[in-house]
Amino acid sequence: MPLVLTALWVVVVVLELAYVMVLGPGPPPLGPLARALQLALAAYQLLNLLGNVGLFLRSDPSIRGVMLAGRSLGQGWAYCYQCQSQVPPRSGHCSACRVCILRRDHHCRLLGRCVGFHNYRPFLCLLLHAAGALLHISVLLSPALSALLQAHSALYTVALLLLPWLMLLTGKVSLAQFTLAFVVDTCVAGALLCGAGLLFHGMLLLRGQTTWEWARGHHSYDLGTCHNLQAALGPRWALVWFWPFLASPLPGDGITFQTPADVGLVTS
């Protein structure tokens, strides 16, 4: 259901963008080169969004199909009574997914799946490109919204931007005007949310932490910036942000993890 609702919102945004581009003011006039660059940027963003969403949903971070028998002798292993299985360190049970997740970070409500060892990379890249795409859409819709707002008072403008539903229910705006304001509002809010999430998870990435470990102040797997990036994104960690289909295999298996002692780091 969360994935269906997210898909419906994406369809609404695309339809509104198409409507404004065809019938509305549209973007400012552009030269052939600028228009080609804008179309190339839109195609690049679309490919990255679809690619990372596909990788995120296809990569299963759970313990399903993972051979854990005979390996539950190390420190940090625990027993999950819901899964009736020993689970490795950094793993946790998700009540929504109804299974334990390897290197569990959190459950993504918008996509209806947990973020863990195998899909952390596409999740981070999805945050980056979603923020960029939503900002791009907001810029494309801004001329139509600006034309609408300039014809009314400042109070009307504030009410339409902050309370579009109330304006629609009271008959102050048409359905088309409401849709335009609502889509722009959600795109700007979504870009800010994705940007904030990217900053937060970027901090965790550099520290080698999960959200659960950050909340509890655990730093047991902080290997230093370079090693942390490689552990989460693979050896091509600097390039994976630009293309979702670039091969960058993760080190390890999501069951055992290196500690600072394993890479020769001295901790106080």
Residues tagged active-site: 108
CA distance 179 to 205: 37
Please list the alpha-helical segments (H only) found in 69-210: 120-150, 154-162, 164-169, 175-207
Of 41, 43, 16, give the one whose Cα is nearest residue 30. Answer: 41
Residue 107 parent element (H or E): strand 106-108
Q: What does the alpha-carbon distance between residue 151 and residue 157 come to, in Å, rounded to a whole number?
A: 9
**Alpha helices, DSSP H, located in the chain:** 2-23, 32-58, 120-150, 154-162, 164-169, 175-207, 211-215, 225-233
Residue 229 gets which letter from DSSP? Answer: H
